[in-house]
């Protein structure tokens, strides 16, 4: 599927095959279902094989990833509930489980289709691109040393203050609840959106927009302070311009 990110960032449903389209809930929908539930129905399709089978045996080695996933889902009632909800939210379709043959059917009658390996891998790829919960590398270039001059220390404090401001926008107050709500407020404040406009965004649109504002702020901070940063630190610092 060409230009997958461009398609996912649009508001239009994405055609996966002749019977299934991917619909992304808005932030308004996610707030009502809770962000935790949204992440659960999203991640159910991308559970790594090694988490389902910590230790492979001769039988499991003969199974493809779809069969392993289907056997696991069918054998755990709570997982079946999550898959059912995921299909209703993202595909607007029901799903049927057939334990005797370890198969699943998405949709009803002629408007549905069997979940085969190709369809499963396509869904898995799309959902992996919607997942923003992967840990990020945190490695600040701004390091305090014992032999700093008074001028260097002032620059250091400005750099740290700038980083803390950006982190507060992106992550909120780590000691408080409702980070998701604080991120919504932050995007309204720095992006000059209305709350309605933000709540009408999909999670992917929201996260990419928020992250891009952070990239712009980081770039501008780095540009302003670049005369005071050593060339060695500058080489190690990744600064994304707004057009990147």
Round to whole Å and give the CA distance between 192 and 186: 10
The CB-side HSE value for 108 (13 A sphere, CA atoms) comes to 4
The string of DSSP codes covering 52-94 is H-SS--HHHHTS-HHHHHHHHHHH-HHHHHHHHHHHHHHTS--
Integer-rounded Cα radius of gyration of the chain: 23
The string of DSSP codes covering 183-226 is HHHHHHHHH---HHHHHTSBHHHHHHHHHHHHHHHHHHHHHHHG
Output phi, psi for 202, to 5 deg. Answer: -80, 165
* pTM greater than 0.85 (yes/no): no
For 84-135, what is each residue's pLDDT tens digit?
999 999 999 999 999 999 999 999 998 999 999 999 999 999 999 998 765 4
Q: Count of CB atoms within 10 A of residue 123's CB?
A: 22
Retrieve residue 34's tokens: 């809770």
DSSP state of 163: H
Give mean pLDDT, residues 65-87.
Answer: 95
Q: Count of CB atoms within 10 A of residue 142's CB?
A: 16
For 169-225, what is each residue's pLDDT tens digit?
545 554 556 788 888 998 998 888 999 999 999 999 999 998 888 777 776 666 655
* 82 Cα distance to chain centroid: 18
Q: What is the three-class DSSP state of 47?
A: coil
CB 66 within 8 A of CB 97: no
pLDDT of residue 107: 95
Nearest residue to 86 via CA among 118, 42, 145: 42
CB-based contacts of 96: which residues, under 8 Å, 6+ apart?
104, 105
Round to whole Å and give the CA distance between 206 and 203: 5
The answer, yes or no, to whether residue 136 has pLDDT greater than 60, is: no
């Amino acid at each position: 599927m060409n230009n997958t990110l461009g398609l996912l960032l649009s508001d239009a449903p994405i055609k996966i095959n002749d019977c299934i389209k991917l619909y992304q809930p808005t932030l308004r929908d996610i707030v009502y279902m809770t962000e935790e539930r949204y992440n659960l129905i999203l991640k159910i399709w991308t559970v790594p094989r090694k988490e389902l089978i910590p230790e492979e045996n001769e039988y499991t080695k003969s199974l493809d990833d779809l069969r392993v996933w289907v056997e696991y889902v069918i054998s755990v009632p709570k997982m079946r509930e999550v898959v059912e909800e995921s299909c209703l939210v993202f595909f607007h379709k029901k799903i049927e489980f057939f334990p005797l043959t370890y198969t699943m059917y998405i949709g009803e009658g002629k408007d549905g289709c069997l979940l085969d390996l190709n369809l499963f891998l396509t869904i898995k790829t799309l959902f992996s691109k919607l997942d923003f919960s992967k840990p990020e590398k945190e490695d600040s270039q701004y390091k305090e040393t014992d032999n700093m001059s008074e001028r260097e220390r002032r620059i250091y404090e400005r750099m740290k203050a700038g980083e803390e401001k950006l982190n507060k926008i992106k992550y909120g107050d780590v000691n408080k609840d409702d980070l998701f709500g604080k991120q919504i407020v932050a995007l309204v404040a720095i992006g000059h959106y209305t709350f309605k406009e933000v709540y009408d965004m999909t999670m992917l649109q929201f996260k990419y927009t928020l992250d891009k504002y952070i990239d712009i702020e980081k770039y501008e901070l780095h540009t302003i302070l670049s005369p005071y940063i050593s060339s060695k630190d500058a080489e190690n610092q990744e600064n994304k311009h707004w057009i990147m």
